Structure 1
Amino acid sequence: MDDATPLVQVTGATVRFQSDTALDGVDFRMFAGEVHSLMGENGAGKSTLIRALTGALPLDAGVISVGGQTVQFTTPHDAQLAGISTVYQEIDLLPNLTVAENIALGREPRGRLGAIDWRAMRRLAREALADLGLDVDPASLLGTHPLAVQQLVAIARAISTDVKVLVLDEPTSSLDLDEVAELFRVIRDLKRRGVAILFVSHFLDQVYEICDRITVLRNGRLVGEYLTRELLRIDLVEKMLGRSAGPLAARSRADTFDDPDAPVALSARGVTALPGIADADLDLVEGEVLGIAGLLGSGRTELARALTGVDRLDAGIIRIAGRPMHLSSPRRALSVGVVYSSENRRTEGLIGELSVLENITLALQAQRGVVRRIRSARQRELAASWVEALDIRPADIDRPVGTLSGGNQQKVLLARLLALSPRVLVLDEPTRGIDVGAKVEIQNLVGELADNGLSVVFISAELEEVLRVGTRVAILHAGRIVDILPADGLTPDALMAMVAGPDDAEGES
């Protein structure tokens, strides 16, 4: 493959944002019919290189060539015309349009008089969906489908054109195991057709399963390009971090919580918010991390939303420190010390155009009201203290939060919530889509918060992470909590068998 002509080649790519250099003379190449992974910590330059390659960001220096021809992309449309399609981690489709309209958006088939040919549009959408093995009604509204299906629709849109290069930015972050397997089948099929696929993921198991080659970036510079089969995982992590991976190991909390008489911070009995969660019972003890494990669609997010006032209860009761509470809204939950961090940072968390300072102080100011304004000097002091405490980088409180890496954005969101001095913190996928270093930092931060008496509900699709962080694990299946067990002694395989449920487990035996 090294003797072949690269399908895509980037030479000397340099991008600067004012005084920051996001890419510094990076070389990158992809060959037809290969799956290539771009690896690095958050802030390493991965997203910047992707944006330059796909026409969303101009290079300050460097050259991009496709099929041996030098190209200059001024817009993403230019890149699409050259055969480069992208599916981003944060889905950028329109939920108020149908599945077919989203797949054909911007290239709708039209009749002789210029009117949209709706029948042809639905047929083309059905064919694109069939390529993914996805049984979805093209006429249905995209927003009525779960996030995982929306992700697959975004991929169907990308491959519905004459694609030469497919860029997948964290494509599996919202998919369950079966859907990941289906996506990998599609990737292998596209690979056989000669499509070059850039697969960006923080799941090392998936990178090693599907990728032929790995390019590593660190601090905006190229570390190297490697054949996946020749690069040990521990070596990959150390190349990404620029240091030994040993000190980054997150400590397990399973052995650190041994007070059965500790007071209960939050208690739920018969909590039901249909159709997602039914008859849920749990006790969250002060200073513990309760992990939530379940397959996609098991009710993980629905449970989090029910416990924090986002969704109204159809039945059940929630007690905070032993007192019954009617959590009719997130504001009401916040008033009694219960805060929620959504799995969707972009649309339900941070405001990318606002500064780090404004995002950190936003909820605290909302809690105080318009009349009791936080003094500017106090805002700056507060934001700076949280930036230092959580090691948010760069340490510039006036920088728009949307320009930060995913891991640092997650830290800003945590800082906002912690500034409220909560007693219960509900985290839904807090490490989704962030690199291994930032992931361990957040895991250890959660442990430290629990050590200081904060009670945490920790939801993650990664079962190893649930076991590593959690004191106990609540197992969800089909919208119900089927068991709550100590994390100590559980293995990922045993936990997987439990979350799969009796029917699935029997089917696999």
Structure 2
Amino acid sequence: MDDKAVLRARNLSKRYLAVQALAEVNLDIQAGEVHALLGSNGAGKSTLVKILTGAITPDTGEVLLNGQRIPPGNPKAALEAGISCIYQESNLVPALSVLDNIMLGRQPTRGPGLLDRTAQRVFVRSLLARNGLLLDLDTPVQALPTGQQKEVEIAKALSLKARVILMDEPTAWLSQVEVETLFRAIRNLTREGVGVLYISHVLDEIFTIADRVTVLRDGKVHLAAPIGQINKGALVQAMLGRQLSAETDQWQHELHPSSAGPVALECRNLSKAGLFENINLSVHRGEIVCITGLVGAKRSELVRTLFGAERADQGEVFIHGQAVILRRPQDAIDRGLGFVPEDRRRDGLFMSLSVNHNLALASLNPLTRLGLVSGRLLNGLGQKQVARLGIVPPRLETPVRNLSGGNQQKVLVGRWLASGANIIILDEPTVGIDVGAKADIYQLLRHLAAEGAAILIVSSDMEEVMTIADRILVMAQGRLVGNFLKGQASQAEILRAAGGELA
């Protein structure tokens, strides 16, 4: 047992009916270290975090902070002991200022009903300065970029005297610049002796920021080691029980453009003031085209325009060779386009609705009889897509919020397949998805392309781009600055183009 451990979890087990969510899990987090926690969806990470924060009670085992046992199933006790959690979904109040979010519920007073705003500001300014956080106290949180919102949550945790901070997918929606800023904040935390449990699906991040790593699979610890003693292959093996090299090698050697079909989607001289200018691109049937670039390249704005969610100022869009005017998304949907947005939870899915209803949302007309949706037709559509896409669990009535990120993404793709779409646009399709689920998504997209679908992807993940794309388009500052076939350019050449320099 390590004497430097600030938090110790011992022999934690939790069962839900027939499912063993955790089995005899041991975890130490040392003062001043970043300890990465990895595992595929369903591995037990969320259950472990809920036990550590007191949200649920383990069947067996205990959690100790600085040697003191924390009462199980008691969030208040865990928080007061010094355990805080920064979740993937923000817990901040958007309309309140940075200052008020950090001090919410704990504002100092000068007497009954009188807040001591001066004392608040002095305390928070000192806190931010000690930890290298540069935040304007009076700015409403909703006006901050996502990366700075994460910094506000870190400051809030520190104001609660946190000794251990759990971070659940903290970079899921951040730009690369914001990721680097967050990493600086994390390093400042560890210099102050705070222990960080860092949960992520992005393996490159683990090797950048973590000191040690623990991997869960099927509720059990399958690997626990210093980060310097392992490689990416060992992590994947521990997470999945298998290697992905054979699968990715197969994708990387499939060169589809030579056998691609006719042009399915095309734009000519497409421009929108202040966003993008003179964009010319095409996607063939049977082809996967990836658009990559740095933050601010306006890739998302471009694909939203191609889907009719934004209006271009000039230029033309062609679908299957026919010029079209896209005034709204329905115009694109009617012509066989589907769109999977970057934030699937906010912009794509209805989280409280079932898998079945989410799958059917773009296909209600053919399911309607005498003004009512036919339950028989609805279930038939759902069963077909669940089987086709391998959605897990395969229960149509399951609320989509209960699915893993990878299966939520499959539901969105299935919605468009059910509608008959044969041109699919996906914006950052694997953000927040583990490596096993990524492999499933890649395989699905390859199968769709092989069936003749045209696939257009926006991705900031260079490894993903090099793996899945038949053709790579590079955008910089609203312009297309590179167009490469698979194998024509290295990552370095693509990154140079993304910086505005033609490769």
> What is the TM-score of this pair, normalised by structure 2?
0.90
Q: CA RMSD in A?
A: 2.8
1:380 aligns with 2:379: yes
8 Å CA contact 1:132, 1:183 repeated in 2? no
Where does residue 61 of structure 2 map in the other structure?
A: 62
Q: Distance in 1 between matches of 2:177 and 2:368?
A: 46
Where does residue 105 of structure 2 map in the other structure?
A: 106
CA offsets per residue over residues 101-137 of structure 1, 9 Å max, x none? 3333333444434344556656666666666766554
Q: Which moved more, 1:57-66 or 1:290-299?
A: 57-66
Q: Distance in 1 between matches of 2:140 and 2:271?
A: 26
8 Å CA contact 2:268, 2:279 repeated in 1? yes
Where does residue 242 of structure 2 map in the other structure?
A: 243
Deviation at 1:60, TM superposition (A): 3.9
Q: Quick one: structure 1 residues 174 and 213, their matched pair in 2 at CA, closer, same or farther if it must change by over 3 Å?
A: same
Where does residue 349 of structure 2 map in the other structure?
A: 350
Deviation at 1:489, TM superposition (A): 2.0
Which residue identity is paired with 2:256? T
Which residue identity is paired with 2:413? L
Deviation at 1:217, TM superposition (A): 0.7
8 Å CA contact 1:39, 1:215 repeated in 2? yes
8 Å CA contact 2:151, 2:185 repeated in 1? no
Q: Which moved more, 1:63-72 or 1:172-181?
A: 172-181
Where does residue 288 of structure 2 map in the other structure?
A: 289
CA offsets per residue over residues 417-441 of structure 1, 9 Å max, x none? 2211212211111111111111111
Where does residue 320 of structure 1 map in the other structure?
A: 319
Identity of aligned residues (%): 37
Q: Distance in 2 between matches of 1:390 and 1:66?
A: 44
CA offsets per residue over residues 446-491 of structure 1, 9 Å max, x none? 1111111111111111112112211212211122222322232221
Q: Distance in 2 between matches of 1:116 and 1:457?
A: 54
Which residue identity is paired with 2:332? A
2:5 is paired with a residue of what secondary structure?
coil
Structure 1's unaligned 5+ residue stretches are none
Where does residue 211 of structure 2 map in the other structure?
A: 212
Query: Matches of residues 68-467 of structure 1 in structure 2 within 5 Å?
Result: 68-72=67-71, 74=73, 76-117=75-116, 137-249=136-248, 251-252=251-252, 255-259=255-259, 262-365=261-364, 372-467=371-466
Deviation at 1:164, TM superposition (A): 0.6
Which residue identity is paired with 1:408? N
8 Å CA contact 2:367, 2:374 repeated in 1? no
Q: Which moved more, 1:86-95 or 1:110-119?
A: 110-119
Q: Distance in 1 between matches of 2:311 and 2:127?
A: 37
Q: Distance in 2 between matches of 1:367 and 1:127?
A: 62
Where does residue 500 of structure 2 map in the other structure?
A: 501
Which residue identity is paired with 2:443? N
2:91 is paired with a residue of what secondary structure?
coil
Which residue identity is paired with 1:185? R
Deviation at 1:285, TM superposition (A): 2.0
Q: Which moved more, 1:460-469 or 1:143-152?
A: 143-152
2:305 is paired with a residue of what secondary structure?
helix
Deviation at 1:371, TM superposition (A): 5.5
8 Å CA contact 2:367, 2:377 repeated in 1? no
1:383 is paired with a residue of what secondary structure?
helix
CA offsets per residue over residues 365-402 of structure 1, 9 Å max, x none? 27867965442233223222322222222222222222
Which residue identity is paired with 2:381? L
Q: Distance in 2 between matches of 1:457 and 1:174?
A: 20
Q: Quick one: structure 1 residues 409 and 70, their matched pair in 2 at CA, closer, same or farther if it must change by over 3 Å?
A: same
Q: Distance in 2 between matches of 1:357 and 1:18?
A: 25
8 Å CA contact 1:254, 1:469 repeated in 2? no
Where does residue 37 of structure 1 map in the other structure?
A: 36
Structure 2's unaligned 5+ residue stretches are none
> What is the TM-score of this pair, normalised by structure 1?
0.89
Which residue identity is paired with 2:257? F
Q: Quick one: structure 1 residues 116 and 287, their matched pair in 2 at CA, closer, same or farther if it must change by over 3 Å?
A: farther
Q: Distance in 1 between matches of 2:278 and 2:144?
A: 24
Q: Distance in 2 between matches of 1:328 and 1:128?
A: 50
